[in-house]
Structure 1
Amino acid sequence: MADFYRFFARIIVLAGVIFPIAAFSQTRPLDAPSPDLAFPHERNAFGLAPDPAIHWGRLDTGLRYAIMENKTPRDQASLQLRVDVGSLDEVPELGGIAHFLEHLAFQKTIRRPDEGLFTELERLGLQSGADSNATTGLEATTYYLTVPGSGIDRISRALDIFRDISDGLLLTEEDVEQERDVVISELVSRDSSAAQSSKIRMRFLTPGAKAAEQWPAGTRESLHVISREDLLAFYQAHYRPEKMLLVLVGDFDAEAVEAEVRARFADFKGAGVAAPDVSEERTASLPQAPRALSHVEESLRPSIAVYFEQPAKSIASQSLGYSGAYRLQKADEDTRRAVLKRGLALDFAMGAYRRRLQDLMFADDAGFSSGGPFGDHIPRAAYFAGLQFTPVGDDWRTALHVARRELDRLLAFGITEQELDLMRRSQITSLKASVDRADTRSSGALASNILRSTAAHFVVRHPSALLADLMDVVDQLSLEDVKAALKDRYEGKAPAIFVRLQNSDEPVSEAEILAEWAAAGETLLQPWQPSDDKAFAYQVFGEPGQIVSQEHIEDFDFERLTFANHVVAQIKDSDLERNTVRFSIRLGNGLSAFAPDEAGLMAKAGQWATLGGLGAHDFQELSRLFADKNMSVQLSIDGGGVRILGAAMRADLPLPCNMPQRY
């Protein structure tokens, strides 16, 4: 539901879980916060309620927290701490200091001056990387702990680690010099062709914007000059309670966990001079005329991307949950329904565009191997909607023509009734599946969703609330609604076209790229002609096989059935994912049956088999037939055999059996 609830293709899943627990789980009234410390639901224009299973709290010092009980997996908890500081908060001469500080966060602290936090993590049974990690981005530094066990003592020890990170780092000269070598090594290892290409792209898109220059890794020069005093000043300026959000989700008693949070962070007030607040509203002033750039990178696949800058305020016109600086001020019922319909209309239009490209890419002269719409946000700079394609070879011209032709076709004629119906069914099925699975999602995924959604100023809602919104307007959405939303997003906006080539001797000029874009706009267009689909052809397979033996395997609690044709089936009931059936089928000898010079070819056979369709149905038709089913099937070949893996909703049985059987 990317475009329905969020402007960006980098989707945030606004999800949570409802449990019949005590009244504690309901959000308590909080004292009126400053605007920067308010939770999204406290300032949402439409008064949206957050997921009732999440408890929200705020200390007097400004530190915010969210706590949620969740039983999947059992005896485990996910803790995440976000600090609102990243590379955009640095000065160029000290570039990389936020990431440098993140590395030092697990070293010696005031409370652990001899051994540092890594030893305490090991005592808790946490492995570095798998159970304890941290990341530094443009706008935030985030720390992650996955704690085994549900006892409050283990949660308390994990919270002690976060408290040490918050205001207890010693930043000794020894630790600083040791980590300096590590961060410089990371800078070198991550300075890849892909990273360089991304920098070229961002400089082209947002010339002069800090996000295009101030990357988290820093530079060799800046990392060499950062001193302990610089790190301490940066630490005290940014690691402050009003800049932190703590999220805890897991198999624990929420009320007891809140008491521990308050006990461990009540006296955390920050030290030194605080850094000035940074407004979400900062944006770059970009060129408004069509522009283009290309570059050659032999180690990366060729690609083209066409960007259309979007007004920052457009995010509020298509998402009820958005509560940031650009939120709507008028919140009557007509506005609510208009926002819902616009978001849904864009989601349907982009879904239709994506499916049309899927149909086109199988033609012999398609000129591209993949393509589709996307969204991008360069922090404190700009918002974009765009189209991205992978050309066949360096045939960027054909791919660019397809991108514009199909966009212009959508703008001229909109989507068809058949596409509208397909999108309705697909969206309803998808959200119903999310509701069915809501109380079996993992604690780690929920914690990440709560953290990211809140930081991005979106109300964290239960899937059932999102489904109710969808059902409220989905049948009223018209073809004209979709067309109007499309025109508002793309029409009259100057493209910024980025072309990456792989095997060319030199880049293509801006004039040549823009000329091709203009020529593509002269194509004579006709309305899209959807294909006529038929029923799935493979639903009858004769008499059921005869079971010759059945046994229960106690150690792993599953049933093993052996059929007369020597097929062995193993079936296990599980409560890890509600209403979901997962299957794995293995047959044959796999790659071991092929000569060494054939193995590489056969390794791709699974992809070819999937894209090749099934006799009576090609791949495109299969995609349309099962658009309203939550079912996936994939094939692979390894040393153990041919493997068919997939998942489906229980309500869709027996299709999960029919499809892999036919493969």
Structure 2
Amino acid sequence: MPNSPYSSAIKSSTPAKSLIASLVLLAVSLPLSLPALAEIRLNDPIPINPDLKMGKLENGLTYYIQKNDTPRKKVELRLVVKAGSVLEDDDQQGLAHFTEHMAFNGSKHFKKHQLISYLQSIGVKFGADLNAYTSFDETIYILPIPTDKPAYLKTGLQVLADWAQGVEMKAVDIDKERGIILEEARLGKGASDRMTRQLLPEVFNGSKYAERLPIGKEDTIKQFKHDALRRFYKDWYRPDLMAVVVIGDVQPAEAEKMVRKYFSGLQNPQPERARPEINIPKNTASKAMVITDKEASNNLLMLRYPLEKQPAHDVIADYRQDIIRGFYKSMLNRRLGALTEQAKPPFLGASAGNEQVVAGYDSFISTAMLSQAGIQPALDALMQEKNSIRQFGFTATEFERAKKIEAREYESMFNERSKSNSATFAAEYIRNFLTNEPIPGIKNEYLYFKEFADGISLEEMNRFARQATPDDSVKLMFYVGSNKAGETVPSTEDLLAMAAKAEQQAVQARVEKAASASLMTALPKAGQIVTEKENKQLGLVELTLSNGVKVTLKKTDFKNDQVLMSARRAGGLSMFADTDYFNSYYSNPVVWGMGMANFSQKDLQETLAGKSANVRTSMDNYSESIAGASSSSDIETMLQLLYLRLTAPRRDEVMFQTLINSQKEMARNNWARPEAVFSEAITTTIYKDNPRVPHQARVEDFDKISLDRSMEIYQSRYGSAKDMHFIFVGSFEVDKIKPLIATYLASLPNTDIKTTYQDLHIDPVQGVVKKEVHAGNEEKSTVVLSFNGPSTYTREENGRFHAMVDILNLKIIDVLREKQGLIYSGGMSGSFERIPKDRYSIDAELPCSPENVDKVIAALFAEIKKLQQSGPQAEDLNKVKQSWLKEHQQELLSNENWLNHLQNAIYYKTEAESILTVEKRIKAITPAQIKEAAQRYFNFQNYAQIVMYPEQKQEAK
């Protein structure tokens, strides 16, 4: 459900909250045909999704099984254990997470290394597909399995059963895993971790949660006795605390039989240890806390109001209340977002509303990313909006807009119900098991919204708002930021005084102006479609328009309500001199931030409420691009946005200056991060002082941007559609989209401009170049190795090249991580550059401890040289091929993949039909070809090596 925890089609299993949304997707209602709604009684229990087979075995294990065909020939398996770090004894801190690691180190049916190797052989990638995570209250194991053969699903369920109660926990494997987990802990260290550890005792008000970070304590990880780990596994890995989730291309009855076969034998321990409920005490007085760190990348202010037990979600009346709660949160955050468009915004971004803190508890939390304006303006703005809502509520205009937006979200969810990804359903059922989140199913959720939304009055909405919005009573205030020279850091007394002052300010009722009813008051004079031809092999319709613009249409049924658009043309930043670099590089964000025609960005959002359409433009060194997306019913809106974006950019000095100021602040903050210092060192080492290579932004860069010149550059490129070739992929009717194309694309200006590129000579350094960088307080290093050189691109060579890279990634996991314990994560990537000339690049990034830098480099070089001398093992090449073949099966059913493929074929002037021969090319790759590729692409006389060490190592020299 939009803005609630219910949605199976909207919310992911590990949602990430962002302070500043980069793009707002807005949508409109679709006419839908639904069966008549049976009488809904508010006191009735919320039902269970009728498509779901849910049950419980005699031993207490819960299972969720559902047939779902997206993606095809694949099933998502999950083992959910209602046991996390909060259940650890004092001698077990970190062992919930350690237990998760041991599940991959040998079990009853899969010896050490055998499990990962087998799964890779059937196309399952370690890390990308096969994964797990541990939190305070739960541990989740993630296993996607292909269903090409019945044996795969049986083996997958056997794997889950082994994780449940068949992990071996051999002493030698436990001791070896200590190093890998310490590397994982090292990877997480930095300003955020240091500040979080100071925050937690206050956030959790002294409860056990504050003492049980899932990563644990390093001393415990190094020294714990083996039996402490085995005790945690025995106590808490038991069927009455477990759920098995099976969602995908399966027959539910058969899957249920297999679940019973593999999991009925699991036993609960005797005696059974009671799972405690961890209570978090309420704060009784307001308190402030100031935490600073010189590596903090942002100055943040957070107000957390008293923790409350999460409300019940048992009966349909609770669902109706959650609809109201969703309206409330969306309207509040739109108010806060609008404040960032002021001439002097009070903050860079802000959010507010009830958030889950841990399972069972939530709290009203307001957060602001501070600007140069400082703390008081941010507090004033947060309090003004909060208290204005308490006193005056929301306006009728706001409420009607929120209803439109939420209605479109629900209808999008409903339209895509048969194409929702299995992993999304799995995430919803996991939440049901852990927190009793209702699972009525997409159809019921949509019907409930249609039934209830119109009946919620503004008066009822505002009664809820007054109750939901906290007063000025007990709160926790946190200032988290840097302590750089020149920064004014408040005291705790300062924070409380500023909050009290903000609470006393006069409150004003919001005044809402009516939004424009449409984007365009008059349509452009339509052009014509002058030629049309069909490519039956690929299912394409190819059009030429009267202004010379070309269009390729591919109608698909991969999604029920998605249309994607793109166009790309040669030119880009290469058309402008070095002196115009910043004006050209930032021309798109500058123009985007000011809106279009007579619409500011806020105006656009209001006018587009209830619609799903967006368009973006972008420019790289050698090309300029347009990308768009819409629902099937909002194609015209997308094309109107495109037309206005290209023909009517808006000039707004206030918004321009707001953008420049916010970018300066973010650049200033960014340089506190050791990662930013290291990234800049990588760029300058490989490309020296080339002015055309994007560097880490500096504050002074933004003084070089001129509003007028940026707009002039933008208009010089996007003001003409010459040589543009648009592609549309998705759920549209060809006959219905053609008149829209004639109106909005055939009418675009086509003035004569250069549509070629100029070689900017961005050439990497040659020879062996080594650089040490010293940044950051933590004892952590990162090794970056970069190989590059001239190449000759062909599709066949591209396959051999990337197979070589992926084989080395298998070795990085197997040798550097599993066998030698030198790293926790890291890997290698490679790419071909075809414009302005054929080149290749291969980059490896490997985080490790400073004392292991040389070992890591030596180990990777040894694997590369083995590949050069002996070629790959046949089983490794087969693993890569199987993974690619599985991916290709899914890509053939993806609008995004088809759009990308067709765009590349047009831009690089290659045959689009090559998508039909991918499988043949994959199967044709041989070990001998990989060996030759390794010899060709890894030149040990030509590479860059950049290593980051901590600052203190530099001081010791």
* TM-score, scaled relative to structure 1: 0.86
From the superposition, tell whether residues 137 and 5 of structure 1 become closer, same or farther in structure 2 (CA, over 3 Å). closer
CA distance in 1, matches of 2:581, 2:233: 53
From the superposition, tell whether residues 557 and 381 of structure 1 become closer, same or farther in structure 2 (CA, over 3 Å). closer
Q: Share of identical aligned residues, percent?
A: 20
The Cα of 1:53 is off from its aligned counterpart by 0.7
CA distance in 1, matches of 2:320, 2:146: 44
From the superposition, tell whether residues 162 and 363 of structure 1 become closer, same or farther in structure 2 (CA, over 3 Å). same
CA distance in 2, matches of 1:458, 1:380: 11
**Number of the residue aligned with 1:390:** 369
| Residue aligned with 2:305, SS | strand
The Cα of 1:438 is off from its aligned counterpart by 0.9
CA distance in 2, matches of 1:250, 1:428: 28
| Residue aligned with 1:79, SS | strand
Check if 1:661 corresponds to 2:643: yes
**Number of the residue aligned with 2:435:** 456
Check if 1:491 corresponds to 2:471: yes
| Residue aligned with 2:595, SS | coil
| Residue aligned with 1:627, SS | coil
**Number of the residue aligned with 2:241:** 243
Question: CA contact under 8 A between 1:612 and 1:619: conserved in structure 2?
Answer: yes
CA distance in 2, matches of 1:608, 1:439: 40
| Residue aligned with 1:561, SS | strand
From the superposition, tell whether residues 195 and 553 of structure 1 become closer, same or farther in structure 2 (CA, over 3 Å). farther
Check if 1:568 corresponds to 2:550: yes
CA distance in 2, matches of 1:167, 1:199: 33
- CA distances 1:530-564 after superposition (whole Å, capped 9, x unpaired): 1232233436222234333534162x433333334
CA distance in 1, matches of 2:552, 2:115: 44
The Cα of 1:584 is off from its aligned counterpart by 2.2
Question: CA contact under 8 A between 1:350 and 1:373: conserved in structure 2?
Answer: yes
CA distance in 1, matches of 2:543, 2:224: 65
| Residue aligned with 1:160, SS | helix
The Cα of 1:122 is off from its aligned counterpart by 2.1
Question: CA contact under 8 A between 2:397 and 2:514: conserved in structure 1?
Answer: no
The Cα of 1:478 is off from its aligned counterpart by 2.5
- CA distances 1:477-536 after superposition (whole Å, capped 9, x unpaired): 233322221222213642222122234656411211111111112222221111232233
The Cα of 1:287 is off from its aligned counterpart by 2.2
Unaligned ranges ≥5, structure 1 = 14-43, 317-321, 324-330
Letter paired with 2:480: R
The Cα of 1:6 is off from its aligned counterpart by 6.4
From the superposition, tell whether residues 12 and 385 of structure 1 become closer, same or farther in structure 2 (CA, over 3 Å). farther
The Cα of 1:106 is off from its aligned counterpart by 1.1
| Residue aligned with 1:422, SS | helix
Identify the match of residue 558 of structure 1 among 515, 540, 559: 540
CA distance in 2, matches of 1:646, 1:613: 16
- CA distances 1:147-178 after superposition (whole Å, capped 9, x unpaired): 12343221111111111211221112221122
The Cα of 1:573 is off from its aligned counterpart by 1.9
From the superposition, tell whether residues 592 and 375 of structure 1 become closer, same or farther in structure 2 (CA, over 3 Å). farther
CA distance in 2, matches of 1:159, 1:599: 56
The Cα of 1:272 is off from its aligned counterpart by 6.3
1:161-172 maps to which residues of 2 (within 5 A)? 161-172=159-170
Identify the match of residue 96 of structure 2 among 95, 98, 101: 98
CA distance in 1, matches of 2:50, 2:499: 50
Question: CA contact under 8 A between 2:132 and 2:142: conserved in structure 1?
Answer: yes
| Residue aligned with 1:234, SS | helix
The Cα of 1:303 is off from its aligned counterpart by 1.4
1:26-105 maps to which residues of 2 (within 5 A)? 46-105=44-103
Greater relative contact order (Cα < 8 A, sep 6+): 1
- Provide the aligned C-alpha RMSD in A: 2.7
1:185-204 maps to which residues of 2 (within 5 A)? 185-204=183-202
Question: CA contact under 8 A between 1:209 and 1:381: conserved in structure 2?
Answer: no
Count residues in correspondence.
611
**Number of the residue aligned with 1:312:** 309
From the superposition, tell whether residues 477 and 598 of structure 1 become closer, same or farther in structure 2 (CA, over 3 Å). same
Question: CA contact under 8 A between 1:85 and 1:139: conserved in structure 2?
Answer: yes
The Cα of 1:248 is off from its aligned counterpart by 0.9
CA distance in 2, matches of 1:596, 1:181: 49
| Residue aligned with 1:470, SS | helix
**Number of the residue aligned with 2:749:** none
Unaligned ranges ≥5, structure 2 = 14-41, 646-957
Stretch moving more, 610-619 or 535-544: 535-544
Letter paired with 1:151: K
Letter paired with 2:281: S
The Cα of 1:408 is off from its aligned counterpart by 0.9
CA distance in 1, matches of 2:396, 2:614: 26
CA distance in 1, matches of 2:181, 2:431: 26
- CA distances 1:292-338 after superposition (whole Å, capped 9, x unpaired): 1122234321111111124315x12xxxxx24xxxxxxx6xxxx54x
CA distance in 1, matches of 2:122, 2:242: 24
Identify the match of residue 294 of structure 1 among 279, 290, 293: 290
CA distance in 1, matches of 2:101, 2:576: 47
**Number of the residue aligned with 2:422:** 443
CA distance in 2, matches of 1:535, 1:381: 43
From the superposition, tell whether residues 272 and 98 of structure 1 become closer, same or farther in structure 2 (CA, over 3 Å). farther
Question: CA contact under 8 A between 1:304 and 1:390: conserved in structure 2?
Answer: yes
The Cα of 1:82 is off from its aligned counterpart by 0.7
Letter paired with 1:49: P
Q: Which has the larger radius of gyration?
A: 2
* TM-score, scaled relative to structure 2: 0.60
**Number of the residue aligned with 1:515:** 497
CA distance in 1, matches of 2:60, 2:111: 28
CA distance in 2, matches of 1:602, 1:141: 48
| Residue aligned with 1:142, SS | strand
Identify the match of residue 378 of structure 2 among 399, 409, 418: 399
Question: CA contact under 8 A between 2:137 and 2:359: conserved in structure 1?
Answer: no
The Cα of 1:233 is off from its aligned counterpart by 1.6
Stretch moving more, 644-653 or 238-247: 644-653
From the superposition, tell whether residues 272 and 224 of structure 1 become closer, same or farther in structure 2 (CA, over 3 Å). farther
From the superposition, tell whether residues 498 and 605 of structure 1 become closer, same or farther in structure 2 (CA, over 3 Å). farther
Question: CA contact under 8 A between 2:77 and 2:144: conserved in structure 1?
Answer: yes
**Number of the residue aligned with 2:655:** none
Letter paired with 2:308: P
Check if 1:141 corresponds to 2:139: yes
The Cα of 1:191 is off from its aligned counterpart by 1.7
Stretch moving more, 408-417 or 484-493: 484-493
Question: CA contact under 8 A between 1:6 and 1:12: conserved in structure 2?
Answer: no
CA distance in 2, matches of 1:52, 1:151: 27
The Cα of 1:181 is off from its aligned counterpart by 0.5
Identify the match of residue 217 of structure 1 among 200, 215, 221: 215
**Number of the residue aligned with 1:285:** 281
CA distance in 2, matches of 1:432, 1:141: 33
The Cα of 1:398 is off from its aligned counterpart by 1.0
Question: CA contact under 8 A between 1:111 and 1:164: conserved in structure 2?
Answer: yes
CA distance in 2, matches of 1:597, 1:452: 54
**Number of the residue aligned with 2:530:** 547
| Residue aligned with 2:97, SS | helix
Identify the match of residue 334 of structure 2 among 352, 355, 360: 355
**Number of the residue aligned with 1:623:** 605
Question: CA contact under 8 A between 2:296 and 2:481: conserved in structure 1?
Answer: no
- CA distances 1:7-52 after superposition (whole Å, capped 9, x unpaired): 9xx9679xxxxxxxxxxxxxxxxxxxxxxxxxxxxxx973221111
Identify the match of residue 343 of structure 2 among 346, 364, 375: 364
1:116-127 maps to which residues of 2 (within 5 A)? 116-127=114-125
Letter paired with 1:89: L
From the superposition, tell whether residues 147 and 589 of structure 1 become closer, same or farther in structure 2 (CA, over 3 Å). farther
**Number of the residue aligned with 1:259:** 257
From the superposition, tell whether residues 380 and 372 of structure 1 become closer, same or farther in structure 2 (CA, over 3 Å). closer
CA distance in 1, matches of 2:456, 2:612: 23
| Residue aligned with 1:572, SS | strand
From the superposition, tell whether residues 340 and 460 of structure 1 become closer, same or farther in structure 2 (CA, over 3 Å). closer
CA distance in 2, matches of 1:193, 1:545: 59
From the superposition, tell whether residues 605 and 553 of structure 1 become closer, same or farther in structure 2 (CA, over 3 Å). farther
